[in-house]
Amino acid sequence: MECKSKILALDLSLRSTGMVVLSNELTILKSSVIKPPIRLRHAPRLEYIISQIKSYYHQYLPELVVIEDYAFAARGMVYSIGELAGCIKLWFYQNNVPFLLINPSHLKKFVSGKGNCHKERILLAAYKKWKIDAPTDTVEAYCLARIGIEVINLLSETKTQHTAYEEDVLQKIYDTNNPGGTYDVQKGILKERK
C-alpha cells in the first residue's frame, strides 16, 4: 500500500550524514548514515554524499525534504558543511523539490522542550518520546522528519495533539518560513494558517 506522504529528513555532515525517510503513518521506510570513504576529500566527497541523497530521493519521492539549517555558532569545518548544504539545497531547488530548513534550536526544543540542550539530551528525549534508539545522526534526522510530518499535518488541517513547546516551535517554523503570509519553496508546502 502506497503511503500518502513521505518525508526525507537530512542531518547533514561531511563524515556522517543522517538520513531518514518517514511515512505520514510514522513508519520508518529507510534509515541510514551516509559515510563517504575517508580517502575522499573536497569535491569528490561532496559528490559522493549528494549522489547518495539523490538516490534516496529518487527511490522514495518524498513530498517534503527537511534539512537541519546552519548552526551559526558552530566551529570547525563550517565552510565545508556550508558547501554541502548549498549544493543540496540548489539541487532540490532546481528540481522543484519542496524543502524546509529547521533551525537547530527549534529541533532541540521540539524534541526536548529546551532549545539549547546537548545532543545527549536530544537522544534521551527522542527515546522517551518516540522510542527511537539509533545512531545520533539518524536520531536527529528522525526528529527532523517528525517535525516535517507535523508541518504537513498542520497544513492539511489534520488535528494532532502538541505540547505547548511543540506548538511554539511549529509557530516559529511557520513564521520563519512565512514572513509575508504565504510561503512558496518552489511551489512548496507552507500556506497561510487559518
Range of the domain at 89: 6-177
**Residue 177 pLDDT:** 62
Sheet architecture: strand order including 64-68: 28-34, 17-23, 6-11, 64-68, 99-102
**Banded pLDDT at 167 (limits 50, 70, 90):** confident
- Report which of residues 93 and 155 the model is more confident about: 93
Residue 82 lies in a domain: yes
- CB hemisphere CA count around 165 (13 angstroms): 11
pLDDT score for 13: 92
Residue 190 domain-assigned (yes or no): no
pTM: 0.85
Strand partners for 107: none
Q: Of 14-23, 134-143, 150-159, which one has max mean pLDDT?
A: 14-23
Q: Please list, in sequence order, all residues whose beta carbon lies within 8 angstroms of the beta carbon of residue 34, skipping any fewer than 6 positions away.
A: 16, 17, 19, 49, 52, 53
Evaluate if residue 39 carries a pLDDT over 90: yes
Q: In the block, which residue shows the cell 534521551?
A: 124
> pLDDT value at position 176?
67
Distance CA 153, CA 148 (A): 9
In a domain, 83, yes or no: yes
Q: What average pLDDT does the segment 15-44 reach?
A: 94
What domain count does the chain have?
Answer: 1
Residue 126 lies inside a defined structural domain of this protein: yes
Mean pLDDT of the 24-48 span: 94
Q: What is the Cα–Cα distance from 77 to 117, expressed in whole angstroms?
A: 21
Residue 43 domain flag = yes
> What is the mean pLDDT of the segment spanning 65-73?
79
Is residue 123 assigned to a domain?
Answer: yes
Residue 25's alpha-carbon distances to 4, 5, 153, in angstroms, are: 8, 8, 11
Tell me which residue of 162, 155, 16, 158 sits closest to 81, measured CA to CA: 16
Mean pLDDT across 148-177 = 79
166: CATH: 3.30.420.10
Reported as a single tens digit per residue, the pLDDT across 87-128 is 999 999 999 999 999 999 999 999 999 888 888 889 999 999
The candidate with the shortest Cα–Cα distance to 19, out of 56, 51, 50, 44, is: 56
Q: Is residue 191 part of a domain?
A: no
Percent of the chain with pLDDT over 90: 55
